Chain A
Amino acid sequence: MFPFQIRPDELAAEVNQFNTKLAQGFSTLRDIGEIEVGASAKDPVYSEDKLVLYRFKPRVEQVNKTPLLIVYALVNRPYMADLQDGRSMIQGLLDAGQDVYLIDWGYPDAADRYLDLNDYINGYIDRCVDFMRRHHKLDKINLLGICQGGTFSLCYTALHPDKIRNLVTTVTPVDFHTRDDMLSNLVRNIDVDLLVDTMGNIPGELLNWTYLGLKPYRLMGQKYMDLVNMLDDVDQARNFMRMEKWIFDSPDQAGEAFRQFTRQFYQENRLVKGAVDIGGNIVNLENIKLPVLNIFAAADHLVPPDASKALRGCVGTSDYTELEFPGGHIGIYVSGKAQKMIPPAVGEWLQARG
């Protein structure tokens, strides 16, 4: 039997129904109001240039004495980790008894053009860590890195192992040359010197389109057809718009940091070779002898699982744990499944290690 079996009257009814939903959806979107992001109460406790270090207010009485610093990627905005009530990794970590701090990098502009990886890792991150150590009168704190922030956290911990008690990495690229890494394949032959010398800072919009270009038919088309089917539900529509806001809220990248990250990590894959150079300091992941929890997403199209799992063979610790999340790069922070799985697992793992 030939599998194309659409009767014209059914087809007409389908189109009619679709258009009706589209028209009704217009009023949903029109009346949806301001899209709010960020669910948890927090205070700015330290700032420097455009960076702000936030401390979240505790949600339980018994809080881990060792505070946890979350280092987010330079790409997109960190509120993805605290998107909304019930879809917030930070909320989950607070419920799990963690004292959570978060670095918000802000929006770099032309004046930040010459910020490099040394400024970010041995400068900004180090000063945030020192602030927390002083404030809590502790020698060491816990560190959790998200995506590129995870890579930064690895570099930082390898260079300053005396300041970190436990390290958690989430969807973090370590081996940038795995066979299924499309993003890496895309940037492999780009003359990054020419790109940065020409553009200065790298526009966030350029990165957005690059990410969307990894799955163009799905992310530029089909996704919006799915939206039409959920426009009669205001909550679902609002959730969609919240994600949409996050996806397109993309800061520009400081030129020098982008140049170094693209060349050393994506093009030359130096992290797994123990050859990354941050301000004259060589990053050797074998220096990481403290407990490491590495969380990756099985269906991650931006950081393939193998790119994260490579960490096992690089770190010098005997206390290494892997956790696989059955979902994608973003779902690991915002999906309902992730809320039940990731923060409690992180909390339990940290509590067990002091």
Chain B
Amino acid sequence: MNDKTSFPFWNTDWLEAQRKYMEAWTTLSQEAMRKAAVPGSEGNGGTTWDATPMNKALEYWWKSVSHAADDDTRAFYGKLLDQTQAFYFVTDQLSRFLQGLADAARNTDEWQQELDKHFEEMKAVLMNVHGQSGEALSSMVGAWQMPMDTLQRTLSSASVFPGDFMQGFEPDLQAFKSDDIRQVTDRFLSVPGIGYTRESQEQVQNGFRLWLRYQSTFNEYQAGFAKVAVQSLDHMKSCIMDKAGKGEAISTLRELYDLWVDCNETAYAEYAMSGEYSEIYGRLVNDLMAVKQHGRHVMDSIASSFNMPSRKEINTMQKRQQQNRRELMAFKSKVEELEEKLQRFEKSGQAQSSRPTAGTQAATRPAAKPSPARQSRTTKKKTRKKSTSRKA
């Protein structure tokens, strides 16, 4: 079997394009490495790789083959490709960053100081996501957005809005951070409703106020994650120093990626276990729920105005229905208990009528043992009585 038949997508353009790209890229990078190499030194040249063409090639390939799969496979593989692109992105950015450090390290004996300097720069960028910074460092910030993406999905599953709803408002939301604009907004929201529609005016104002509160909390939450990113850099620096001390090397992109994952998980776990995180996460969920509940009240008012059932009314019905079912089960259980009792009495009565002298004998005979289910109900009653008295 030759290579062409063993490979399922040999005839797709993507692989050919990738092969050509890799060949050209390797040639170029080797050339660059030769130019940058310091005579007598070990290690890499001053080259990095660029993940963008790879991602584009991946997208192109996916478009050409995805129609061959069923919906489930397509959805899952789409997710897998998203993660692959994230993998390329993270390793691309990290390898650029570390390559810069390696170059600096080659030119100085005090590479630890360079390491410190680069990491401090990186931390400064992460602490000020919207601030001005070098292009390479700014794009690196994107790699730390994964938990935010997860959170957006979490919130969107509980929200009427799609996951990236808030992202679309980003430029305007920045404006709300300005105190002046915020004051104007607050004044607008404080204007009392007047006239026939005053209640609906207040309703709209209140909804807007709740939404702003949620957005403000979301910004706070996001700022918290900038701290996680900074903390993860500290962990990463310490891991690199540790490896250097032991003479260990990071020799594959996958090792680099795994190191990044470990450092981020450690930093995230530290933050997620803090009281600060618990408080802000709770507030975030509560503020989102307040927005959603407000929306529901508005919908309920509209439904009521059309004489349509509101959520509130349906809740009442469901609650009553559940209570009825509980009572029904209790009655059913009671009827079964009484039936068993009746059967025992009937048996006992038949025995008495068939034997005229049985009455005196029955009085000395122990009572029939109840069935397991009957017995359980009796015991349950006792337990309940006991528990209630303990509670009291």
Contacts and interface: CB of A to CB of B under 8 A. Distances in A.
Contact of B254 (A3, A110, A113, A225): A225
B15 A23 contact: yes
Contact of A8 (B45, B73, B240): B45
Interface in A228-267: 228, 241, 244
Given A3-B249, A282-B390, A195 B154 contact: no
B80 interface: yes
Contacts of B279: 189
10 contacts: A3-B244, A5-B43, A5-B44, A5-B251, A8-B45, A133-B372, A160-B379, A187-B282, A209-B153, A215-B265
A185 interface: yes
A208 B384 CA distance: 37
A194 B261 contact: no
B40 to A, nearest CB: 15
B261 A221 contact: yes
B371 A134 contact: yes
Contact of A4 (B79, B102, B391): B102
A59 interface: no
Contacts, number: 277
Interface string B50-78: 00001000100100010011100100110
B25 A280 contact: no
A19 to B, nearest CB: 6
A190 B296 CA distance: 20
Contacts of A185: 272-274, 277-278
Contact of A224 (B19, B80, B264, B293): B80
A353 interface: no
How many interface residues does chain B have, given as a range? 35 or more
A188 B54 CA distance: 44
Contacts of A114: 318-319, 321-323
Interface stretch (A82-90, A167-175, A196-204, A344-352): A196-204
Interface stretch (B131-139, B283-291, B348-356): B283-291
Nearest to A127: B329
B372 A29 contact: no
B244 A222 contact: no
B26 interface: yes
Contact of A12 (B26, B98, B111, B256): B26
Interface string A1-29: 11111111111101110111011111101
Contacts of A186: 272, 278, 281
B47 interface: yes
Interface string A278-292: 001110100000000
A175 B56 CA distance: 50
A6 B251 contact: yes
